[in-house]
Structure formats: C-alpha cells, structure tokens
Amino acid sequence: MSSKAKKIKQSEALGRPTRDEAQAAVRVLLRWAGDDPQREGLLDTPARVVRSYEEFFAGYSVDPREILARTFSEVDGYDEMIVLKDIRFESYCEHHMVPIIGRAHVAYLPKHRVVGISKLARLVDAFAKRLQIQEKMTVQIADTLNEVLQPEGVGVILEASHQCMSTRGVHKAGVSMVTSRMLGTFRTDPSTRREFLSIVGNPGIVAVANT
C-alpha cells in the first residue's frame, strides 16, 4: 500500500469529514461572516474552497522521507556544500489559517550520497503545505534531511512574511521573520556556517545561526 493510501486510511479511521460535510462547514462560515451562501456569487464557493484546501494542504498526503529515498552515489568524490536557495513556499499559520509566504534556503554537506535538487524543493513543500508555524517547519525540514541522508551537516534558513501579523492584529506590513537550524558541521564549524550564509546572502543571520 502506498504512503498516500495509508494516510487516507488513517484519516478515515480518525473520522475525516466527507467532501459534502466540508462544503457544509464553509456555508456555515459564510453565514457566520454575515453573507448568504445561497446568493449567486457564493453558490459555488464552498466547492471551490474545498478544492483549494486540497491544494493548500497537500503536504498531509506526502511522506517527506519518501521524497528523499532515491539518492545517488556516483558523484566522482564531490564533497563540497550543496545549496538550493530562494525556494519559494506558501504555507498557512496554524493559529489563524492565513498565509505565510516566504523562501527557504537549504544546504547540506554530503558524506557519501546526494539527492536530486528538485527533491529539496519538494521537501520544503511537503512541510509547507500543512498548517504550520515557521519555527517548527524549519526544524522539520532540517531534521528530515539530516535523518535520511546522514550528511556531514545540514543548514536551513526560512524567511517569511506572516499575514496573521500584516493583515490583522498589529497590522505591521513589510515585516519578515527569519528562522534557522544548523546541524553537524554547520553548527560546529564557523567557517562552514559562514560559507552557507555568504552563499544565501544573509551574513547578518550569524547571531541566530544556532536557533
């Protein structure tokens, strides 16, 4: 049985609502907001919202470790840092369910094997497409990469704007949050960390590199 099928079965066992129930819930929220879900402009909104949720939260049906399962050892002795930077991601705050939009920089120092670069972007998406807080997402990406590839070290930096802060509450637009996780040589070797920060153009994060 595939990982996706297993997750669907687990969701069903936990009593996952049906599509009709999900659409009915959207109609309730529309009424609570003060509108009429039966008016012409909103008739198809519940179905659209449910379809969009399938896309927004597709990460729940993905096993991040399976993304990294296929690796390559024929690298002719390459043992320098591998960095994929400026990976755009969209996630949703688990406290207010509004967007978190940012970019991720992911690096590792291979020991024996490497993974296709598209897999690093897919790994970011697997965790981003869930209800999240940025701190937890940073740890999840770094720890999964470290556990599966077992490299000499891993570095992950996320920079993102949070609409729970810019469109509500304190209403502070233009503010970005930066989180990082450094493992292995990225934590213990200052020169490795500096190289990573220099590559991604963020030398100012040195003070929080061990977060």
Q: Catalytic annotation on 54?
A: no
Active-site hit among 10, 38, 54, 94 = 94
Whether residue 96 lies in the annotated active site: yes
Handedness of CA 82, 85, 91, 96 (dihedral sign): positive
- Is residue 145 within 8 A of residue 123, CB to CB? The reply is yes
Task: Output phi, psi for 18, to 5 deg.
Answer: -80, 170
Query: Catalytic residue at 132?
Result: no
Q: Which residues pair with 158 in a beta bridge?
A: 104, 179
12 has catalytic annotation: no
| Helix, strand and coil in the chain, % to nearest 5 | 50, 20, 30
Report the C-alpha gap between 111 and 169 in whole angstroms. Answer: 46
Say if CB 136 and CB 91 are below 8 A apart.
Answer: no
Catalytic residue among 134, 140, 152, 159: 134
163 is catalytic: no
Give 203: exposed, middle or buried? Use CB within 10 Å, 0-12, 13-18, 19+. Answer: exposed
Q: Which of 66, 90, 96, 163 is catalytic?
A: 96
Q: Catalytic annotation on 164?
A: yes
Provide the CA 57 distance to its chain's centre, in angstroms: 10
Q: Catalytic residue among 21, 38, 54, 95, which?
A: 95
Tell me whether residue 171 is one of the annotated catalytic residues.
Answer: no
- Considering the candidates 66, 90, 93, 150, report the single residue annotated as catalytic: 93
The residues annotated as belonging to the active site are 93-96, 134, 162, 164
